[in-house]
């Protein structure tokens, strides 16, 4: 109850507090911070996917800057021999502004990734963007851009039919619950319905020959996923688990120790605020985090006593 209330008022918590308590979820503000984090993850047997923070951009020049930042990421990953691909939010590349602009950016990034033997994951955002994002994915694939994958959200009622419609492309899909709160018309709200949809979606994707990124920290779903891949006798290079930086790292260690592949989502950049709010709102111990940070600051005030 308290957690729920705190999660709702987070948008009025001062930004410096949000920044401090969300630092575990973000590699830092610079590319060097991200590559440092990825190197440490790789050393622990974990792959990565780097996200340049930025979303719902409304100015075409900003999309150029984000696209350039991703090109730099691909070059740096290559130069440093890191095991990391990239995850891209279509609205950060202009999806809402201009579909063709976004498509040109994505084509360029997928081309650059292909040349470097790498891969681009198109993140999925809120339900108003699902049609455009899936259309974009289909157009990229039709144009011969193959080093690219998409995301489907198990909490959306449409997902099982989207899997059927995409099947001819044998897409590389990340399946996750989905972070955005949508209307009841389009989204399952019941916890068990979402779990059921996740399991059904994973089975349908694997049965249509897709490579699947299983993105969850939910222990029951991870058990189900292990059962599903074992029943199908899948080699470890036919699927991977995926988790977010800073969320349940011990659970991730256990998956790696059992021989599964695991990829960690590593966000970095100056646009940290919206991403941080989403992660904090999902943290079941948010009240404890905010309280310990605030109490800590009261007991150890900064030089000017401010937060
Ligand atoms: C690699 C990756 C990529 C993703 N990409 C997308 C995307 O493109 N589009 C999209 O809509 N969503 C995306 N998501 C977010 C996802 O849909 C969920 O919002 C998020 O992963 C939490 O769902 P869960 O399956 O872990 O289950 P939950 O039931 O939310 O969490 C299971 C358990 O994990 C722990 N946990 C979860 N979140 C936190 C947290 N923030 N802090 C501390 N503990 C936590 C808790 O112990 C919780 O009980 C992605 C998630 C991952 C892991």
Neighbours of 111 (CB within 10 A): 14
Pocket of ligand 1, candidates 244, 249, 266: which has the most ligand atoms within 8 Å of its Cβ, to mutate? 244
Tell me the pLDDT tens digit for each residue of 133-153: 999 999 999 999 999 999 999
Residue 57 φ then ψ, to 5°? -80, 140
Ligand 1 atom index nearest CA of 126: 11
Catalytic residue numbers, as ranges? 123, 174
Tell me the pLDDT tens digit for each residue of 164-190: 999 999 999 999 999 999 999 999 999
Q: Pocket around ligand 1: residues whose beta carbon is below 6 Å from it?
A: 123-124, 151, 153, 176-180, 215-218, 242-244, 247-248, 265, 279, 282-284
Pocket of ligand 1, candidates 137, 216, 279: which has the most ligand atoms within 8 Å of its Cβ, to mutate? 216
Tell me the pLDDT tens digit for each residue of 238-297: 999 999 999 999 999 999 999 999 999 999 998 888 888 888 888 877 666 666 655 444
Q: Which two tokens stand for residue 279?
A: 């992660």
**Helix H or strand E encompassing 66:** helix 60-79
């Amino acid at each position: 109850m308290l957690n729920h209330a705190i999660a709702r008022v987070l948008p009025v918590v001062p930004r410096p507090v949000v920044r401090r308590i969300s630092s575990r979820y973000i590699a830092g503000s610079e590319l060097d911070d991200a590559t440092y984090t990825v190197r440490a993850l790789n050393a622990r047997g974990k792959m990565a996917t780097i996200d340049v923070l930025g979303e719902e951009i409304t100015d075409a020049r900003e999309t150029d800057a984000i696209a350039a930042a991703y090109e730099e990421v691909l070059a740096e990953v290559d130069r440093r021999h890191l095991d990391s691909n990239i995850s891209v939010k279509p609205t950060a590349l202009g999806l809402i502004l201009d579909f063709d602009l976004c498509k040109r950016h994505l084509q360029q990034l997928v081309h650059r990734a292909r040349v470097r033997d790498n891969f681009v994951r198109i993140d999925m955002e809120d339900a108003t963007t699902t049609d455009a994002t899936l259309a974009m994915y289909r157009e990229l694939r039709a144009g011969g851009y193959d080093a690219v994958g998409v995301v489907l959200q198990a909490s959306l009622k449409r997902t099982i039919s989207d899997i059927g419609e995409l099947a001819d492309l044998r897409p590389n899909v990340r399946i996750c619950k989905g972070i955005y709160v949508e209307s009841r018309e389009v989204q399952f709200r019941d916890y068990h319905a979402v779990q059921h949809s996740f399991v059904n979606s994973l089975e349908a994707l694997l049965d249509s020959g897709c490579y699947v990124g299983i993105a969850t920290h939910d222990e029951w779903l991870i058990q189900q996923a292990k059962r599903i891949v074992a029943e199908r006798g899948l080699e470890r290079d036919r699927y991977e688990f995926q988790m977010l930086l800073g969320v349940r790292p011990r659970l991730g260690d256990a998956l790696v120790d059992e021989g599964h592949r695991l990829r960690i989502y590593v966000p970095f950049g100056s646009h940290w605020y919206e991403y941080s709010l989403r992660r904090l709102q999902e943290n079941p111990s948010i009240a404890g985090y905010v309280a310990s940070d605030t109490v800590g600051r009261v007991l150890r005030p900064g030089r000017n006593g401010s937060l």
